[in-house]
């Protein structure tokens, strides 16, 4: 093999070059317009889908079943509550609750409880005030506001 038969690196590169067509890039405004248009289309499609689902016979059938089931549930719970109110145990519990309430309101225990709650609320209010002060910026005194010799 002589020098004439062996192609140079440059010749090989030249032979391997393939032109690839390059499309013009869309401008930023066109891209944004396309993006906005696609979002608008998506929104319309979403609304159409929700409306179709809402107006479907299946949804209406399910809604009717749910309404019937809820009415039945409420009726059963109401019946159970009425029966519980009329039972001997319920009457006894109610009488005991009224008795305890009367003792609590008339006795020293009620006053002590109220006083303790008032003190607890005052303490909580003070602590919240301290916490709020930590988050508020400190006001500068006139000495702090004036530039120091180092700042000049």
- Measured CA to CA, the distance from residue 79 to residue 107 in angstroms comes to 38
- Measured CA to CA, the distance from residue 150 to residue 99 in angstroms comes to 76
User: In this structure, are residues 59 and 53 in contact, taking their beta carbons and an 8 Å threshold?
Assistant: yes
The token pair at 86 is: 């009329």
Q: What is the pLDDT along the chain (152 residues), one digit of tens a residue?
A: 455 577 777 777 777 775 555 455 556 667 677 888 888 999 999 999 988 888 889 889 999 999 999 999 999 999 988 888 888 888 888 888 888 888 777 777 777 888 889 999 999 999 988 888 887 766 655 555 555 555 55
- Measured CA to CA, the distance from residue 119 to residue 121 in angstroms comes to 5
pTM, 2 dp = 0.32
User: In this structure, are residues 90 and 84 in contact, taking their beta carbons and an 8 Å threshold?
Assistant: yes
């Amino acid at each position: 093999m002589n020098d004439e038969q062996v192609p140079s690196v440059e010749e090989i590169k030249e032979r391997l070059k393939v032109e690839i067509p390059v499309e013009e890039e869309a401008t930023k405004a066109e891209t944004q317009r396309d993006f906005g248009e696609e979002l608008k289309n998506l929104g319309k499609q979403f609304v159409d889908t929700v409306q179709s689902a809402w107006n479907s016979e299946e949804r209406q059938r399910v809604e009717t079943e749910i309404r019937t089931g809820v009415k039945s549930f409420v009726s059963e719970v109401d019946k159970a509550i009425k029966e519980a109110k009329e039972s001997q145990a319920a009457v006894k519990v109610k009488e005991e609750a009224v008795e305890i309430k009367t003792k609590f309101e008339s006795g020293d225990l009620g006053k002590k409880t109220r006083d303790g709650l008032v003190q607890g609320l005052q303490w909580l209010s003070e602590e919240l005030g301290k916490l709020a002060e930590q988050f508020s910026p400190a006001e500068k005194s006139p000495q702090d506001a004036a530039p120091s010799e180092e700042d000049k």
